[in-house]
Amino acid sequence: MRIPAAAFLAALAAAPALAADSSAVAWPEGYRTWDHVKSMVINKGHPLYDMVGGIHSIYGNPKAIKGYKEGKKFADGSVIVFDLFEAVDRDNAVSEGNRKAVIVMAKDSRKFKDTNGWGYQVIDPKTKKGTLDAKGAVDCHACHTQMKSEDYVFSAWRVE
Amino acid sequence: MRIPAAAFLAALAAAPALAADSSAVAWPEGYRTWDHVKSMVINKGHPLYDMVGGIHSIYGNPKAIKGYKEGKKFADGSVIVFDLFEAVDRDNAVSEGNRKAVIVMAKDSRKFKDTNGWGYQVIDPKTKKGTLDAKGAVDCHACHTQMKSEDYVFSAWRVE
């Protein structure tokens, strides 16, 4: 099939609009005071190492924490932060190094209806600006889809 | 030097009183809603592995967080929790396993004046009862004394 030049240009023009949609996931102001869900280390050899390797801690805003505790059903307005650091493995201990990224999932069933209500963003901690394009957000969700039965969220609230 | 039997018995009798002092560090009710300071993994081979090996997360109550942020000077009433889990190292990731202990440092310059104002306790998460005797608390503080210039606290608030 030949693609008419006009259609191709229209598709190109549409791309920035999609990217703008993705950047609608904002910097999660004040997340360090949100409840801490859990922490984990992802090492070399893990399928997600290239994307999120290091030591991370997960935080949820009050709506997200309610969602975790009530069987992983997240209301609009839920925000989950994946705070990612270099893992410094030294002297038989693994510590947090420099912050690599602040990764955010935000629930808005209207704004992000194409990805089952979840928006994704990878934020540069220095500039506090998103670095994920529309395709990246779709890729995030493709992986999260394996957790469909738990509202697309991998992490779980640990027993208190 | 010979130790008179009476002095020896007096020392023995004094021990339970000290133990009672140590158990004055209470279960840190609601600490999961306190701010999360940092997380870390302590592996085999680390000098503290036998005592606190695993993956831990540190939380501080509002007074402790103020202390961290204001140059590590902790006011009376500051409480720091070291929430310790088995480190499950599987498929190139290290995750939290079962909770091993909830370890607490609490500042009360009168009650714990013999240990520079800090009381220590290791709490069994199942019974919520302290398991540390007076000698154990003194041992904790002996190690923390290397951090005297930072008010005896090892952890630090990571850059936001």
Average confidence (pLDDT) per 10 residues, chain A, 160 residues = 44 42 80 98 97 97 97 97 98 97 97 96 94 91 96 91
**pLDDT for the residue numbered A12:** 40
pLDDT (mean) for B124-139 = 92
A32 touches chain B (CB under 8 A): yes
DSSP state string for B13-77: HHHHHHHHHHTTS---TTGGGSEEEEEEEE-TTSTTHHHH-EEEEEEE-HHHHHHHHTTS---TT
Q: Residue B41 is nearest to which of A35, A38, A94, comparing CB atoms?
A: A94
Is B57 close to A39, i.e. CB distance below 8 A?
Answer: yes
> What is the model's pLDDT at position A24?
84
Contact A46 B94 (CB under 8 A): no
Measure the CA dihedral A48/A42/A51/A123, to 10°.
Answer: 140
* Tokens matching residue B37: 């300071």
Q: What is the pLDDT of residues B4-41, one digit of tens each?
A: 444 444 444 444 444 444 458 999 999 999 999 999 99
Chain B contact for A92 (CB, 8 A cutoff): yes
Quick one: pLDDT at residue B8?
A: 42
Per-state percent for chain A, helix, strand, coil, to nearest 5? 35, 30, 35
Interface contact B93-A40, CB threshold 8 A? yes
| Closest to B130 measured CA to CA, from B99, B100, B103 | B103
Pick from B38, B42, B91: CB nearest A93:
B42
Q: Which residue has the higher pLDDT, B150 or A21?
A: B150
Q: Given this model, what pLDDT does residue A159 score?
A: 74
In this prediction, what percent of chain B has a pLDDT beyond 90?
81
Compute the count of residue pairs across chains A and B with CB atoms less than 8 Å apart: 71
**Does A43 contact B at CB distance below 8 Å?**
yes
For B55, which of A39, A59, A160 is closest by C-beta distance? A39
Report the alpha-carbon distance of residue A152 to residue A72 in Å, rounded.
9
Facing residue for B39 by CB, picked from A43, A46, A55: A55
Q: Which range is most confident: A23-37, B69-83, B121-135?
A: B69-83
Residue A28 is predicted with a pLDDT of 96
Both structure tokens of A93: 């201990």
